[in-house]
Structure 1
């Protein structure tokens, strides 16, 4: 009954959404358009620039921009312009790209990405999120889940089992939809970015080494089924499979091998 209520609610709201396909051919439901997402991205990026210290190191900025430029020039034509790249002086091991064509790289991640090829894997992955509209899809999923829970609350109004029903529906949405889709996004961004870095002339095997480096950082990680990200071992295996697949399909460098140095 709970599953039927949740699925029915998701279906009703989903009919109001636009259907799309990601660059890998995966079906998507998008409630938000590019302009809406770009506005959200621009607001978020502006806030981050106010909160975080921006690196003034000219050599470091030139290095990061060089790698970003190589990735950007192999993107689909409609995505080849108007990107802004900012390096943040921070101990966070992180990087991101936002709708609105904004890229942020934290200096600490440059200690994990040992060379231009590994940094290109990060850049390709983050840009892949934007081009695949993962932000819009994620916000849409949250909106659909909230709508389903509200409909479920109405459906169980007055029932002695209402609290338990809503709790189970909430867990079902979190672990049955939202987390798995987030893992899907991460894996998809990995393989989209891999294709870009290969076309840009970077070494594809560096993407696997990057995740070996990430794995060495350690730290507590939840079981993969409860995590928003695939396990490093899963990502490495997926990348290895797609490197071979892309090579068999004839994916190759479109330009001369880059020479970005720190």
Structure 2
């Protein structure tokens, strides 16, 4: 057991030197600079555009209308002065936002998100991942986990076929015990931050619950929550319903202040 103490010491030292807090006050491990993450985000967005056709016209105008209304409420302190929005021709109901201000929405999502408020739910959620620096936390945790497993193997002398098997089990334990719960906490956090953000932009936060009901109806079977990178749809809807106590007053205040987005549907 004593041979593994250096690993704990290294992990503690890294955690103390790179700790941060999310917008909701959760402690985070962030090993990379914002500039490094922005480069990663730009590279990923460029690659995405190379692999999938970009859609323009009415679909692009509709998505951009919703996205622009939501991003207008992002505080300037985050340093993103302009957001790039693209619609991609892909049947999967997916969207994403990347560090540096890049938003992608697949056409398949427009079959699930029935109106501007439901679309704002998804876009607000994805923007929240960026604001909460979840990408930084994710790659930092993966880097530290990978380094930790390598160091454990070296210190414990786990070599050969038997050692590889033990390391495989340790890796699985890290995935289900660390990386997937981290991802689930990110998703739950982004749901709440995104709900407030869309409400501040004048989109009805109550639509978020219906959006996830639509997702549930179209998604088929789900893996057990402990094996998934996302909370179950039922868990998300329960948390969103609870958060409406905060989001609805933000929505009402926004509407009273003249925030009334009118993004026309395609159909």
TM-score over 0.5 for the pair: yes
Note if contact 2:19-2:27 (Cα within 8 Å) is conserved in structure 1.
yes
1:41-120 mapped onto 2 (5 Å cutoff) = 41-56=41-56, 58-79=57-78, 81-120=81-120
State the SS of the aligned residue for 2:85. Answer: strand
Note if contact 2:62-2:263 (Cα within 8 Å) is conserved in structure 1.
yes
Note if contact 2:205-2:247 (Cα within 8 Å) is conserved in structure 1.
no
User: Runs of 5+ in structure 1 lacking a partner?
Assistant: none
Shift in Å, 1:143: 0.4
1:198-213 mapped onto 2 (5 Å cutoff) = 198-213=199-214
- Are 1:217 and 2:218 an aligned pair? yes
Partner of 1:21: 21
Alpha-carbon separation, structure 1, partners of 2:42 and 2:197: 24
Partner of 1:138: 138
Partner of 1:239: 240
Alpha-carbon separation, structure 2, partners of 1:37 and 1:207: 29
What is the TM-score when the length of structure 2 is the normalising length? Answer: 0.90
Partner of 2:172: 171
Rate the CA distance shift 1:158–1:72 in 2: closer, same or farther, 3 A: closer
Note if contact 2:204-2:251 (Cα within 8 Å) is conserved in structure 1.
no
Note if contact 1:22-1:132 (Cα within 8 Å) is conserved in structure 2.
yes
What is the TM-score when the length of structure 1 is the normalising length? Answer: 0.92
State the SS of the aligned residue for 1:217. Answer: helix
Which is worse superposed, 67-76 or 157-166? Answer: 157-166
Note if contact 1:156-1:162 (Cα within 8 Å) is conserved in structure 2.
no
Shift in Å, 1:248: 6.7
Alpha-carbon separation, structure 2, partners of 1:10 and 1:86: 41
State the SS of the aligned residue for 1:105. Answer: strand
Rate the CA distance shift 1:38–1:158 in 2: closer, same or farther, 3 A: closer
Note if contact 2:205-2:248 (Cα within 8 Å) is conserved in structure 1.
no
Alpha-carbon separation, structure 2, partners of 1:257 and 1:95: 23
Partner of 1:129: 129
Note if contact 1:13-1:144 (Cα within 8 Å) is conserved in structure 2.
no
State the SS of the aligned residue for 1:85. Answer: strand
Note if contact 2:125-2:190 (Cα within 8 Å) is conserved in structure 1.
yes
Shift in Å, 1:245: 3.5
Alpha-carbon separation, structure 2, partners of 1:248 and 1:41: 34
Note if contact 2:7-2:152 (Cα within 8 Å) is conserved in structure 1.
no
More helix by share: 2
Alpha-carbon separation, structure 2, partners of 1:78 and 1:105: 25
Rate the CA distance shift 1:166–1:63 in 2: closer, same or farther, 3 A: same
Partner of 1:252: 253
